[in-house]
Amino acid sequence: MTLIKSISGIRGTIGGAVEDNLTPIDAVKFAAAYGTWLKQQRNKENYRVVVGRDARISGEMIQSLVMNTLIGMGIHVIDLGLSTTPTVEVAVPLEHADGGIILTASHNPKQWNALKLLNHKGEFLNGVEGKKILDIAASNDMTFAEVDDLGKITKNDAYIDLHIDEVLNLPLVNKEAIEAANFKVVVDGVNSTGGIAIPLLLERLGVEPVKLYCEPTGHFPHNPEPLKEHLGDLAKAVVKEHADFGIVVDPDVDRLAFMDEKGEMFGEEYTLVACADYVLSKNPGNTVSNMSSTRALRDVTEKHGGTYEASAVGEVNVVELMKKNKVVIGGEGNGGIIYPELHYGRDALVGVALFLSLLAEKKLSVSALRATYPNYYMSKKKIQLTPQLDVDAILKTMETNYSHETLTTIDGVKIDFAENWVHLRKSNTEPIIRIYTEAQSQETADDLADRFITEIKAIANI
């Protein structure tokens, strides 16, 4: 059982002891620290926060605790109920709110939940802001409102529809071409809020959705991380239904992966590559993804005359570099599309709309589309951490051992070889070291990852 306090929020497993897990006391304490920080940003009469959640079993409990804590601080709450991370991000500026909180542990299994924190722009807090909230929580320096000054809750369940409206109003979403294509698509909503939002979006675009695990019960039917090894049922359904392709999202709908008409993965890394290819063909410019993402985005960007740059891992780091480089599209290789024309946040809904526009205009099958992109293969592995492991020392040793290669150390250690690369870093969200590699064959990528796991274990004596 685990509680991870980081600059990106608080994440933990439900049940257990205070400060060891995400208990009600921890949820209240962190919500109060956020409310305190919010009030420090601007001195005003009324404060408003948008709150939404994915369909996790613990979601209703945690959301109730968080909202009532904010009320206790005199902050008014707009309750979106069952929602998605990008929907809450879109809602914050539309509501002229001071911030937002999403109750979701993203791709983590059902025993996890988390508080993800947004600023008044509907964007994730930066490192300085996140640390300030951690400091407030640690100090217990929080003051609550008197009885006549308590906040109120206003329910608003229209925001998924409003979010879809915003997506459909984007100039590059080719609604006519999509409708004319008569697509049939299987949607795996992993029994969370993607099962609500994605079919609604498809119907509005004239696409026939076939629903698989689209009941928002929070009982995930498989590991909710949208990786090939978890998606056997989707592969069978796509083939059985003679669908044009399959869509899978994670529980809070900020990660997006596609499956082709043969039941083969399009490649989670290639979600951003395809969407960027479409956007850059209409609006040439620069792109950004994180250091653990495929080189294929660089290739596609350069094909359209733009410049690619990699950021440290983490959405806030990607967004910061996107703004600095004035990019037209960016995101993360885990299926996270960030399209600034709509908002600066990973958004599976806008990804689906852009991908459908590309597919409809090119008049290609999904497998044929995939064949038009450079072939890179990734291996994503991990080593479980124990309290005894000094991760920083391990990474420093690796840096020394490979000092003769091209190194990047803004986020762990990335080693760029001529034909492939490896990225070693400590996870922000789980007690693990991540080992990501990319090469020109799956076997080479897997072998490279295994080699580095062996080297790390030798250094750490495990």
Q: Are 279 and 354 in contact (CB under 8 A)?
A: yes
For 142, phi then psi, to 5°, come to: -135, 135
d(CA 413, CA 75): 42
Tokens linked to 256: 């997006």
Contacts of 164 (CB under 8 A, 6+ apart): 197, 200, 201, 204, 349
DSSP string for residues in 360-395: HHHT--HHHHHTTS---EEEEEEEE--TT--HHHHH
Phi/psi at 26 (nearest 5 deg)?
-65, -40
246 neighbors 238 (Cβ within 8 angstroms) = yes
Length of the chain: 462
3-state secondary structure (DSSP) of residue 257: strand
For 319, list phi and psi in degrees, rounded to 5. -65, -40
List the catalytic residues.
106
CA atoms within 13 A on the CB side of 265: 19
Tell me the whole-structure pTM to 2 decimals: 0.92
Report the C-alpha gap between 436 and 446 in whole angstroms.
Answer: 9
Q: Which of 184, 216, 177 is nearest to 203 (CA)?
A: 184
Residues 6+ apart with CB under 8 A from 186: 209, 210, 212, 234, 237, 238, 241, 243, 245, 246, 247, 259
How far apart, in whole angstroms, are the C-alpha atoms of residue 287 and residue 280? 9
Contact 441, 378 (CB under 8 A): no
d(CA 29, CA 246): 41
| 327 in Cβ contact with 285 (< 8 Å) | yes
Residue 59: alpha-carbon gap to chain centroid: 18
pLDDT one digit per residue (tens) for the chain, 462 residues = 578 887 778 999 999 999 999 999 999 999 999 999 999 998 899 999 999 999 999 999 999 999 999 999 999 999 999 999 999 999 999 999 999 999 999 999 999 999 999 999 999 999 899 999 999 999 999 999 999 999 999 999 999 999 999 999 999 999 999 999 999 999 999 999 999 999 999 999 999 999 999 999 999 999 999 888 999 999 999 999 999 999 999 999 999 999 999 999 999 999 999 999 999 999 999 999 999 999 999 999 999 999 999 999 889 999 999 999 999 999 999 899 999 999 999 999 999 999 999 999 999 999 999 999 999 998 989 988 787 788 889 999 999 999 999 999 999 999 999 889 999 998 876 778 899 999 999 999 999 999 999 999 999 887
How many Cα atoms sit within 13 Å of 197 on the Cβ side? Answer: 37
